[in-house]
Structure 1
């Protein structure tokens, strides 16, 4: 964790309210960091329904494998997250560490092993001694309360410079329900189902199948539309839990994700996911600028997204943004290499509201000064029309600075 807070961080860290049915505790277990929290336990008083999306990396971590196996059971009583060690590429020792952690949590909470979920973040390839923090985990189960959301977000940080938290209220059947969310992520961020660690909890009463459908749909235009450095983590985990406590206030049970009664909940949930995803981009390692890239006129929405990510992941584009250089030629390059249909002689490019290229060449009214002024902004909008059809997509990224190299050059030290 760096001491210098990102200049793109929110002015104020949101205070998340208590959410019925879930309690949280954190501790400094000394897993890697000294004098900071690095272990979080979330306890569900009654079995919560659960949904999740995970990394598509072929080198997935032991906790990811454990969660995938337990997700089929459809119920959660405990979530354990540690920072400082990813428990990834650790072989049989990694699987054993995950099992020990889960058994400790299950015994402490009083639940089945299949009702425990795990996530780890930090250094890859380092064996993790789960037994070293077993007593700490047992103590956390006794001290958990309903006020620890921000502490939980801090406990799961690695190179993050601020805790990522957000909260929303939605209405289902005339009854207000709460959604709280936390996330971590600053580097090794690229969309592939999920691109960080994030945990969202609602007190709505929603079945596991409906919850999974909502999460799978919501992730596409949020967490799967961000990139910091094009690298997909071995540990990416996004989980959504529903405690069902709002049923006691009259909220109806939801078993169909397409039920019109949850239209407001769906919209609010997706907005919350986008908020957390944007916070990750704003905390990109060494970032000084956030970039929104919208591609229109593509053969399909999927093609538009591929082109947009080609632009967003280009080191040349990202360094130009860092240097406040309105080098639109690098946008042309990134469009051309994306492998999707693009009409060169219809291509149009905007930086902010300044059109810099049109009909396959520099705009005749192009002003270097006007374009340069856009590049000095903290948030930069880049728009591209590739002139093929009506496909559209938006992704978000950040600039690439010298600080990114410095942070990652000595990450293990």
Structure 2
């Protein structure tokens, strides 16, 4: 990826692309915090989506998939936190459809243009009364305060909001891509307990938007892990309303890569923010793998290393135990040359060409105390290159998940 044509925008705002508005509020699904949100485009937008691979899929996913794959246009999405509306049977689907219709009635647009997303406790019937009472008070606006309200209303155990925004130029027009996400636990894409919403004013048809999203998802959202659990509600939606006025984007467009690169960095920022905010986490762990048979195998190795509970606990304890790293490389299932494996932590070599190398324990402890820890692995099997991101495993993770419903 080359990002010379992509510019990061300070002051992130999901409504910055032309023609988008957002809102968020507390309606009563949760005790105190914001729990209901709307994201709206002025006009029907091209849409793309990626969803959980869990065989158990929440009712909102079924509703939203129908919009993405059949209507192929989306103008708004209604989101709640505090209740996943998952494993709730026929009633759950009726409730998700009711949310869709309630939003349609409020916005005076066709229900087939409205997606639904939910996150929270699994197995509890959705309470529609708070939504019915609260929705009339949601007034989507294109300002920073409303964007923050939206970002806060989608959170569960997250400790911070997750926002990012970039611009690029296509056909002489400034294109803005902005993103907001939530996710902290049950993070094991393909996908994770995460919701991601990306807006752009680029002009692109849904099929091409889906192609771009599927590509960047593999190297961003599908390259993070917190705890190895795959949720029932995971959704990433991209809406592109075309109001920037560029020529319709296709892979044949001379500036197609500008758009893909911008979408990539937005997705990568959100993915890394989710990994860094893993439940109870104190450190972001990045694993970069080189020399694999291909890029897919490199990502497989990287994700195995960053997902290893023993690696995660070693990083938490500032223990430079490279044996746990090489063991994870070995059981990843990827092809490696044992005599060519090289491992570094924070740029300090610990294993070179399969042989241990003397290193300073004190230096490694200082490196492992940092908030971001980089592990580099080379496996000598080819030219494949890939990344994965995760976090350390702490006492707090157990405490949070031992009392999640209380």
Q: Give the shorter-chain TM-score range.
A: over 0.9
- Greater shift after overlay, 67-76 or 188-197? 188-197
Q: Which residue of 2 aligns with 1:46?
A: 43
Cα distance, 1:17 vs. partner? Answer: 5.8
Q: Which residue of 1 aligns with 2:226?
A: 228
Cα distance, 1:318 vs. partner? Answer: 0.2
Q: Deviations over 1:228-248 (max 9, x none)?
A: 11111111100000122212x
Q: Which residue of 2 aligns with 1:405?
A: 398
- CA distance in 2 between counterparts of 1:116 and 1:282 reads 31
Q: 2:289 matched to 1:295?
A: yes
Given the alignment, which residue of 80, 88, 92 partners 2:86? Answer: 88
Name the CA shift for 1:212/1:339 in 2 (closer, same or farther; >3 Å). same
- CA distance in 2 between counterparts of 1:270 and 1:258 reads 18
- Greater shift after overlay, 282-291 or 189-198? 189-198
> Runs ≥4 in structure 1, deviation > 6 angstroms?
none
Q: Secondary structure of the residue that 1:384 maps to in structure 2?
A: strand
Name the CA shift for 1:156/1:348 in 2 (closer, same or farther; >3 Å). same
Q: Deviations over 1:344-371 (max 9, x none)?
A: 22221111111101232311x3332332
Given the alignment, which residue of 20, 33, 49 partners 1:36? Answer: 33
- CA distance in 1 between counterparts of 2:382 and 2:73 reads 44
Q: Which residue of 2 aligns with 1:384?
A: 377
Verify the 8 A CA contact 1:193 1:220 in the aligned structure 2.
no
Name the CA shift for 1:47/1:60 in 2 (closer, same or farther; >3 Å). same
Cα distance, 1:388 vs. partner? Answer: 1.9
Q: Which residue of 1 aligns with 2:142?
A: 146
Q: Which residue of 2 aligns with 1:161?
A: 159
- CA distance in 2 between counterparts of 1:157 and 1:360 reads 44
Unaligned runs of 5+ in 2: 1-9
Unaligned runs of 5+ in 1: 1-11
Q: Deviations over 1:270-294 (max 9, x none)?
A: 1111111111111111111111101
Verify the 8 A CA contact 1:195 1:223 in the aligned structure 2.
no
Q: Which residues in structure 2 correspond to 1:198-347 (within 5 Å)?
A: 198-247=196-245, 251-254=246-249, 256-347=250-341
Name the CA shift for 1:401/1:113 in 2 (closer, same or farther; >3 Å). same
Verify the 8 A CA contact 1:20 1:203 in the aligned structure 2.
yes
Give the root-mean-square deviation of aligned CA atoms: 1.7
Given the alignment, which residue of 76, 85, 96 partners 1:78? Answer: 76
